[in-house]
Amino acid sequence: MKIIYLTDIHDGLRGLKELFLRTSPDLYLLCGDLIYKAFFSVDRIIEFCTYQEELDVIAKQENFNLTVYDYATRAIRFPKRFSEDIINKSINYRNLFQQASKTMKEKYQLVENLVNQYANSPTLFLPGNYDLDLQYTALYDKDLHRKSSEIDGIKLTGYGGAPIATSGIPEKLAVKFHEYHKDGSFYSEPEDFLKEELPDIAVVHTPARGFLDKVPSFGNVGSDGIRRYVDECAPPLLVSGHVHEDQGIIKKNGTILLNSSNFGPVESIFGYQSGGFFAEILIENKSILSVGLYKLIDNKEIVHLIEVDCSEKDLKASYVNPDSTIDPDRFIQK
């Protein structure tokens, strides 16, 4: 079985079309952040983020345990309890919220159209922290969040989202990542769900803590619950995304963990990341034989960068493109 896995597409629909046209796997697996911007206008993005962040601060200062949307709704419904400034901000925020939701749903429809027209293989999607919950979109029947799917005898189970608030995304409709510490106890829905399903391939947007989750100057940002699932259940393969800066592959206690890094371009605090990365995974009898790292360059050319032999106890590079911009010793992590 051949799987093409990519993550953090970030509105890179032209690149996605080219990938569909140039490849023929048994399955396409897209691991989150399909969308990057809720508006086409930069001014609208700034305006929406400003209202969202300001109202969030005000709600927390007033000890309201509500989403920004719910807080704005309360201010509009009970105007005598709130200042005129908060009411005006709430009205403007709700109007922009509706526009953002409409634009994002139109983008998911474009993705669905691309799949139907150009992908000749089954395609599964997982929402990331930049996404709406896909059950509200045209991709609902291809959504893997909190679901399992079996293809060619391989069971895939997904859990999307990330435990962070993402500015500029309509938070009321975003996928929820239910993991938290409270009153001295720890709860992780992704851990519980993955342990219940016991898939051959665990598909997550947020990585397991300590594996491919290191952000420069911030440290490890992965999920404690997903890490416990990996340690206790040792799935054959776990693919993740979210952390573009920690691209790589690891083999730990029989589990292969993979983060191919971002497919779509993105501006971050670390500068412009051109992306284009994706992986080709070969599986036989539920064993991972190899993982190839590829890059789509300028939406025109696919370059094979590294091939990793996964069949032995330790990972090793079986091919390295002499022009590869990725060092195999950095990609194959210990």
DSSP 8-state assignment for residue 207: P
How long a stretch of residues is the chain?
334
Average pLDDT (230-240) is: 98
In this prediction, residues 272-291 reach a mean pLDDT of 95
Mean pLDDT of the chain: 95
pLDDT at 272: 84
Encoding tokens for residue 44?
């609208």
**Positive or negative: CA dihedral 20, 24, 27, 33:** negative
**Token pair of 270, please?**
């670390």
Q: Reply yes or no on whether the pLDDT at 222 is more than 90.
A: yes
pLDDT value of position 271: 78
Pick from 47-51, 101-105, 270-274, 287-291: least confident: 270-274
Burial 222-248 (b: 16+ CB within 10 A, else e): bbbbbbbbbeebebbbbbbbbbbbbbb
| Segment 120-132, tens digit of pLDDT | 999 999 999 999 9
| pLDDT of 268 above 80 | no
Q: Which whole number is the average pLDDT over 215-244? A: 96
Residue 303 DSSP one-character state: E
Residue 108's pLDDT band, with cuts at 50, 70 and 90, is very high
Q: Is residue 269 over pLDDT 80? A: no
Q: Which residue has the higher pLDDT, 216 or 241?
A: 241
CA 93 to chain centre: 26
Please, which residues have CB within 8 angstroms of residue 184's CB and are 6 or more apart in sequence?
Answer: none
Domains and CATH numbers, the chain: 2-33+107-275 (3.60.21.10), 43-96 (no CATH)
pLDDT > 90? residue 162 = yes
- Using CB atoms within 10 Å of the CB of residue 96, give its burial: 0 to 12 exposed, 13 to 18 middle, 19+ buried: buried
- Tokens 């993550």 -> residue: 7
In the chain, which residue ranges form alpha helices assigned H by DSSP? 13-22, 42-61, 68-77, 84-118, 189-197, 224-233, 328-331
Phi and psi based region of residue 99 (left: phi greater than 0; alpha: psi -120 to 50; beta: remaining): alpha
| DSSP SS3 for 226 | helix
- pTM here is 0.95
pLDDT score for 77 = 96
Q: What is the pLDDT of residues 303-329, one digit of tens each?
A: 999 999 999 999 999 999 999 999 999
Q: How many CB atoms lie within 10 A of CB 324?
A: 17
Q: 1: closest CA among 236, 288, 239?
A: 288
Q: Is the pLDDT of residue 240 over 90?
A: yes
Does residue 181 register a pLDDT over 90? no
Amino acid code (one letter) for 169? I
* Average pLDDT rounded to a whole number, residues 89-103: 97
Q: Which helix (H) or strand (E) holds 156?
A: strand 154-159
Distance CA 244, CA 262 (A): 6
Tens digit of each residue's pLDDT (9 = 90 or more) over 6-37: 999 999 999 999 999 999 999 999 999 999 99
